[in-house]
Each structure stands twice: as structure tokens, then as C-alpha cells.
Structure 1
Amino acid sequence: MPPPPNKFLDLITPFDNVRLDFEQNFSPYYRFHLSPDDPRPHGFIHPNTVSSMPWPPSVTIDHDAQTVTIASPPSPSSSSPAARTQHINRSIQQAIDSAIDADVFPHLRAQHSEPFLIPGARGPGPVHVERFAATLFGTATRGAHMTAFVRGSPQERGGLRIWVARRSRHLATYPGMLDSTVAGGVLYVYDMEMPPDVLPTPGDDEVERFELMGPDEVISRMEAGEFKPNVCPVMVDFLLRHGIVTPEEVGPGAYAEICSRLRRTLPVPLVPDQAE
């Protein structure tokens, strides 16, 4: 008999829907290699993306091995570590530029975005991929979410309330939805306890307003689909760490599963060099 549905597992599953043994059983995805000399995959690319991406000549695709690899620089004079890094960045950017020019992927919105570091790439310099294109290459990305909260609310579960941002209705992505107090692109999660008399105010046109909510209201509005989807695991993690959601409430088995799935080991390197 299958286990009963769990609302907290339902909230994190859209962002943790990869099988636990994905590193060994990654089909149908293609492993993305930054160099023939680096056996570590730095991303996993869907076959539809592999076939649609206008790859430059410097990228080699092996359909039998299911790999997409940036070839070594063609000239011996380009074999220095710095030159190899430039070659990798140039190859990635050429693919993105061609995809944007041809408007191949609608979510790129035919425009460029800020560079995101690909963690784990061997130096000496950083390897980047544009933010909106990072999902196409299946690379790890980093960003920050901060949840600001106020204590001293005995009527609320856990005795606290959370400052929730309402996104501007003019944003291209998730307009008008509820968001973390502060956020920006594995995520680093921060809490900030604020005194009751400090009120956050929008500093740009990306936030419409801030609302102070109790944990139960946050939970119900997440269930109602009012929150930007990737904020839900951040909020669930906050509720667990502050003892607001407990093993007794969700069941010890589900609680352990939620905790482990919020802290998965990723199948891509996160440090610059793990060479054997």
C-alpha cells in the first residue's frame, strides 16, 4: 500500500525529482564535459536540448556514449591553462549566442543574462554560463535566499512570523507571486531575525511589497501555489530548522526523507579540482 500523500514532500518534489542513483543511471541525459581531459561531468543535458542547440565546431557530441564535450584547443599555442579556460568559455558562449540569435529556446527570451560561475571547473580562471542558459546545460548554479523573521508572536505557531516578498507584477518571471525576503539564483540559505519595529521596504522595482505572515499562512499559501516554486523548499527547510514542522506532525519516515532530499549530494563537482 503506497504511503499517504505528504504536503511538504509535495512542495519539494518539483525541485528534487531526480532518482537517488542518477549519477550511475543518468539516461536519457547527456553528460556535459568541459574538456576531454576532465572525466567529471559538469552538467547533464536533455536529449532535446542536445539536438536543438546550435553547437559550435569546438563541441563534440557522442550519441553512443551520451556525452557532449568541449574539444581541446586546436592550436598547440592555445594549450596553456589560461588559454584552455578561454577556449571553454568561448565555446559555451558561442552556443548560447547562436541559440539566442535563432530564438531556439523560448525561456531565454531572445536576450542575454548575467554570467553564472560553473563550480568545480578546473582553473586557472572561472568558467561561466549565462544565468538563463544554465538550465540548458544542466550545470550547478549558486545563489542566495534569505528568510527574515520576527519573534514575539505567541498566537503564531513557533512564536514567529516571516517577512514574505510580493514580486512585482511587471517581472518577466513569476510576476506577482510570493517570494523569499531576499533572493537572487545548490542555493545558500540564510535566516535573519529582525526586531519588530524594523520594516523591510522594496529597494527596486522587482518587489511590490512585503507581507508579514505566520507559519500556517505561509504553508497554506505554498499549498495554494501562490509562492514562486523554488521558494517552497527554502521555506520548508526554514520550518524544519526552527522546529515548526516536526517528525510527530509529518511522521518520522517522511521527516527523514524531507531532510535528506533537501540536502542531496549533487552529481556534479562543486570544488575546482577533484582530479585523481
Structure 2
Amino acid sequence: MAFENLLQVVAHCDKFPYHIDLEHKDEIHHVVPLCLGPHVIGNILPSVLPHLKQYNDSQSPAPFVIASNVTFASWVDSFEKRTQVVKQLMDTWRAQTVFSALAGWRNELYPVYGDSSRVDNVAFVMERAATPLFGISTFGVHLNAYVRDQDNDIKMWVARRALTKPTWPGLLDNCVAGGISYKYSTKETIVKECDEEASIPADLAVKAQNASCVSYYTYTEHGLQPETQYIFDLALPAHFTPTPRDGEVQCFYLWPMDKVKETILNGEWKPNCALVAIDFMIRHGMINADEEPDYIEISYRLHRRLPFPTPKKGAQ
């Protein structure tokens, strides 16, 4: 899918409607809030609700209260109980192959925020692959790895995703990226992912600077995905070449930024990773207000305010 401009690239990822139209037939306009106390912690598609109701009716006591919104039953009143209730639900759906999202099970726990009684604000944890079914706001890290040539021009290391990846196989990606698992910090995650995906040693990876964040609200065939990515920049030595290690990356390219922009407009990138590269180009003056007519709108859309609880005090 080719794009005419960069704003189309951003809108292709940040595509959950900004204004809900109840007259619209698309189920995206009829999501049901998942609530915990005063907080909306996720959104559930109407197509998921019948399965949730069926499961809930089969349990005694029922773990959820399902009305105009979905809440935990009064007895599900702690981190441990919420975690167990959600785990049992997703284990059941996975065993029954109810949703395709769960075919990508990773055995990786993501924190769900919204319990202000805890210092980390974590209400419960759940399997990463299951988060789109509840429209949970998730967090990750992405690395822009780059070098400067003799003329001080920037070239970026770009990854091509392995053809065996369950999502977006073969598309272009940031040099390193990964979700932030429970109890990992942003810096710990970026150092870990640098080693696992690109063979970047820790003594180099720790020099990565948290330079920005990008937020958007997208959806796929698996469900709803409100996401925030912590963006790190890392200037690599000219003699260093990232090397695939864990099988998630097919190869790396070192490209001038014009080539990066060209491939983004050609639709060759994983959608959210294109946003990370665009953010990098804005911060380094390669996309600027005098030359980009949609500069302000692009900037707004790269930093969408998501209506969900967030990490506190840097805790993940």
C-alpha cells in the first residue's frame, strides 16, 4: 500500500476514531469500556462480548459484571485475583481456539495499569497476545540506530522482519523493538532487545538515549491496540554492523534517510515502526515546518493522548 504523503502513513496506524459515531455501523464505534474503579483500562469490541458473557455465565461465582461496561466482580479485588481471573479466561479461550489472537501466545506478561493503591499502579498482568481482546494500553521500546558519515550526514540501520514472524513478516522495522514485560524498566528492555535482536552488546546499548515517545491507537484483525512506544536513539560506531540473533530479523540495511522516507511512502514498513522513523526525522530536522505542509497534524498524531492509566514513577 503506497501513500501520497506522510500524514497518510501516520493515519494508517493511528486509525481508531477520534470521535465515536453511534450511528456508524462499524463495531469500532460501539466498543464497550473495561473499567476498574474510576478508570477505563481497556475497550472491548462487540464481537468479543458474547464469548465473554458465555464464559462469565459458566463460572460460579461470576468474575465479571457485564452491563453498559465491563467490570470485575466485587470479589475480584486484588492484583492476584484479577491476574488469575484473566489468566483462566484467556487459557480457556486459547484451549477452545476462540480467537485467532491467542494463536500467537508468547508466555510474556504485560502489566495493566489502573490500581492507584499500588506504587507501580499495576492492576494485574496478562498474556501479551491477549491484550488486543480487551483493548489494553500497552508499552514498548523502539531503537533508532544510526551512524554519521564523513559529511556528518545520518544513515539509519533498518531491519527487515523475518518471513517467519507471525505478524507483519518481511516488512521493514526499526533496528530494535520490543514490548516491556512486567517488572522490566524501559532501559533494561532496550538493552535486552539490542542483544537479542541485533547482537548489540550491552556496553554499546546502554548509551542509547530515551529521546521521545510515540503514541497511537490502532487495530488489527486481532483486536484493539492502543500503544505507547518509548523511543531510543543510539549512534553506533561506523565500524559496527548489527547482526540478527534470535531469528526475528532477516537482515539489516544501512540506508540514507532519503531511502528511509522513500520506503515509508512505498508502504514497505510495519505501520507503527514507520511512525518511529518519522518522529526521528522530525527531531533531526529532516522533516520541518517550512517543507512539510502537514507538519503540525503529523506531530499531533504521533503523540495521541490515550485515555488509559499509565506507569508511575518509571515503574513498568
The TM-score normalised by the length of structure 2 is 0.72
- Which position in structure 2 is the counterpart of 1:114? 108
Higher RCO by CA contacts (8 Å cutoff, separation 6 or greater): 2
Tell me if the contact between 1:120 and 1:272 (Cα under 8 Å) persists in the aligned partners.
no
Following superposition, the deviation at residue 207 of structure 1 comes to 1.4
Tell me if the contact between 1:150 and 1:162 (Cα under 8 Å) persists in the aligned partners.
yes
- Which position in structure 2 is the counterpart of 1:104? 98
Q: Which runs of 5 or more structure 1 residues have no equivalent in the other structure? A: none
> Among 279, 298, 302, which residue is 1:258 paired with?
298
- Which position in structure 2 is the counterpart of 1:218? 260
- Which position in structure 1 is the counterpart of 2:143? 146
**Equivalent AA in structure 1 for residue 47 of structure 2:** N
Flag the 1:110–1:189 CA change in 2: closer, same or farther, 3 A. closer
- Which position in structure 2 is the counterpart of 1:12? 10
Distance 1:221 1:159 in 2: 19
Distance 1:88 1:6 in 2: 45
Distance 2:130 2:168 in 1: 18
Tell me if the contact between 2:104 and 2:166 (Cα under 8 Å) persists in the aligned partners.
no
Following superposition, the deviation at residue 188 of structure 1 comes to 0.5
**Equivalent AA in structure 2 for residue 85 of structure 1:** F
Tell me if the contact between 1:32 and 1:68 (Cα under 8 Å) persists in the aligned partners.
yes
Worse overlay, 130-139 or 103-112: 103-112
Distance 2:168 2:132 in 1: 17
**Equivalent AA in structure 2 for residue 73 of structure 1:** W
Flag the 1:206–1:61 CA change in 2: closer, same or farther, 3 A. same
- Which position in structure 1 is the counterpart of 2:160? 166
Task: Report sequence identity in percent.
Answer: 32
Flag the 1:232–1:105 CA change in 2: closer, same or farther, 3 A. same
Structure 1 position 32 matched with structure 2 position 34:
yes
Secondary structure of 2:47's partner? Answer: helix
Tell me if the contact between 1:70 and 1:91 (Cα under 8 Å) persists in the aligned partners.
no
- Which position in structure 1 is the counterpart of 2:46? 47
- Which position in structure 2 is the counterpart of 1:132? 129
Distance 2:65 2:130 in 1: 19
Distance 2:143 2:115 in 1: 27
Secondary structure of 2:169's partner? Answer: coil
* Structure with the largest fraction of strand: 2
> Among 85, 91, 95, which residue is 2:89 paired with?
95
Distance 2:48 2:33 in 1: 12
> Among 49, 54, 61, which residue is 2:66 paired with?
61
**Equivalent AA in structure 2 for residue 88 of structure 1:** R
Following superposition, the deviation at residue 119 of structure 1 comes to 2.6
Flag the 1:215–1:55 CA change in 2: closer, same or farther, 3 A. farther
Following superposition, the deviation at residue 153 of structure 1 comes to 5.9
- Which position in structure 1 is the counterpart of 2:284? 242
Q: Which runs of 5 or more structure 2 residues have no equivalent in the other structure? A: 21-27, 57-61, 180-227
**Equivalent AA in structure 1 for residue 34 of structure 2:** F
Secondary structure of 1:142's partner? Answer: strand
Following superposition, the deviation at residue 21 of structure 1 comes to 5.3
Following superposition, the deviation at residue 27 of structure 1 comes to 4.7
Bigger Cα Rg? 1
* Counterpart mapping for 1:198-213 below 5 A: 198-213=240-255
Following superposition, the deviation at residue 44 of structure 1 comes to 1.1
Distance 1:226 1:250 in 2: 21
**Equivalent AA in structure 2 for residue 143 of structure 1:** G
Flag the 1:55–1:239 CA change in 2: closer, same or farther, 3 A. farther
Secondary structure of 1:184's partner? Answer: strand
Tell me if the contact between 1:122 and 1:272 (Cα under 8 Å) persists in the aligned partners.
no
Distance 1:202 1:272 in 2: 33
**Equivalent AA in structure 2 for residue 270 of structure 1:** T
> Among 44, 69, 72, which residue is 1:70 paired with?
72
Q: Work out the number of aligned pairs and report it.
A: 249
The TM-score normalised by the length of structure 1 is 0.82
Flag the 1:249–1:269 CA change in 2: closer, same or farther, 3 A. same
